[in-house]
């Protein structure tokens, strides 16, 4: 007698797939005519930013397209101790295959080039794409609402929700002795040892930062590799304090794009306790 078990395998049906042609994806990503896009380019304390409003012809079409991708729950991944991405962003995150976004990158690059915001040659630019979704009740992991720097050169955020009360904040550290301002970890670490010591002590006193790897070469040099280790906690609507001073804010208004260098301290400003709307954005990074 046969011991084989009959398995009823359901059919894979054509209508179960989300299908798009290349031109349909290009149409979804299409920018408005440049005369209809409101451009704001600024320089605040050395932070050069690019803000474009009324950017997309069909922002809701792009949102509908992106929402069909699988999303990683960053809170669950943090609790499980493993994430397939190195990003420390909270909420939900969707990696987006760059092949779908070729036309998007082309448009961002050429819009910025027309206003002399980027100095790269197009052939030397490599993009990475993902989305972030922040929502009411979202939690933090290791105080990831605090200022950070990115591992890539430029970041663009295209906002697909009506969330202008939220946005991106930029911060500086003012040394209490010299009263000199520092805008990135690189700035601090290239300063004198006493300034580095005051900064790292401040991280410990204010936020509970700890040395994450005592054997790391940087720690042997006295510069410190530090991180928060408090784990899961309520998200904080962070706008600065007496340690980090906020000096600029870019709102996440609907159908706008913010672009800036990733090497300056910044963080997502989002009120997860009282927000009436989530914040959904497509992030394009120049590696």
What domains are defined for the chain?
Answer: 21-286 (2.60.120)
pLDDT value, residue 222: 44
pLDDT value, residue 81: 85
Mean pLDDT, consecutive 10-residue segments, the chain of 287 residues? 74 92 97 97 97 98 97 91 82 96 96 94 93 96 94 95 93 97 95 96 92 53 64 94 98 97 96 92 96
pLDDT value, residue 218: 47
Compute the distance between CA of residue 2 and CA of residue 27 in angstroms, rounded to an integer: 56
The number of C-alpha atoms within 13 Å of 168 and in the hemisphere containing its C-beta is 29
Secondary structure (H, E, C), the chain: CCCCCCCCCCCCCHHHCCCCCHHHHHHHCCECCHHHCEEEEEEECCEEEEEEECCECCHHHHHHHHCCCCCEEHHHHHHHCCCCCCCCCCCEEEEECHHHHHHHHHHHHHHHHHCCCCCCCHHHCCEEEEEEEECCCCEEECCCCCCECCCCCEEEEEECCCEEEEEEEEEEEECCCCCCEECCHHHHHCCCHHHHHHHHHHHHHHHCCEECCCCCHHHHCCCCCEECCCCEEECCCCCCCCCEEEEEEEEECCCEEEEEECCCCEEEECCCCCCCCCEEEEEEEEC
pLDDT value, residue 2: 57
131 has which bridge partners? 94, 282
Q: Which residue has the tokens 């001073």?
A: 245
pLDDT value, residue 220: 45
Compute the distance between CA of residue 73 and CA of residue 83 in angstroms, rounded to an integer: 9
Task: Decide the pairing of beta strands 181-182 and 38-44.
Answer: unpaired
Q: Which of 52, 2, 58 is nearest to 30 (CA)?
A: 58
CA distances for 54 relative to 29, 58, 211, 256, angstroms: 13, 10, 45, 6
Q: Which two tokens stand for residue 252?
A: 């996440």
């Amino acid at each position: 007698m046969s011991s084989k078990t009959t398995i009823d395998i359901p059919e894979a049906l054509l209508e179960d797939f989300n299908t798009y042609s290349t031109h349909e994806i290009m149409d979804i990503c299409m920018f408005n005519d440049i005369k209809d896009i409101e451009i704001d380019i600024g320089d605040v304390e050395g932070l050069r930013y690019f803000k474009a409003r009324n950017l997309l012809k069909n922002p809701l079409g792009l949102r509908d397209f992106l929402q069909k991708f699988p999303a990683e729950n960053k809170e669950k991944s943090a609790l499980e101790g493993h994430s397939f991405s190195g990003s420390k962003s909270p909420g939900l995150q969707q990696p987006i295959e760059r092949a779908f976004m070729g036309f998007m990158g082309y448009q961002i690059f050429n819009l910025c080039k027309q206003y002399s915001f980027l100095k790269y040659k197009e052939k030397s630019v490599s993009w990475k794409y993902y989305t972030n979704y922040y929502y009411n009740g979202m939690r933090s992991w290791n105080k990831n609402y605090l200022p950070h720097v990115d591992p890539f050169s430029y970041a663009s955020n295209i906002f697909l929700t009506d969330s202008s009360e939220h946005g991106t904040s930029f911060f500086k550290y003012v040394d209490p002795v010299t009263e000199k301002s520092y805008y990135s970890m690189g700035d601090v670490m290239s300063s004198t040892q006493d300034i580095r010591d005051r900064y790292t002590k401040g991280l410990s006193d204010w936020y509970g930062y700890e040395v994450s790897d005592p054997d790391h070469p940087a720690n042997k040099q006295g510069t410190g590799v530090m991180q928060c280790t408090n784990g899961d906690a309520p998200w904080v609507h962070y706008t600065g304090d007496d340690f980090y001073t906020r000096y600029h804010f870019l709102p996440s208004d609907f159908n706008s794009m913010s672009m800036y260098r990733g090497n300056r301290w910044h963080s997502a400003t989002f009120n997860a306790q009282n927000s009436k709307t989530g914040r959904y954005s497509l992030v394009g990074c120049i590696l």
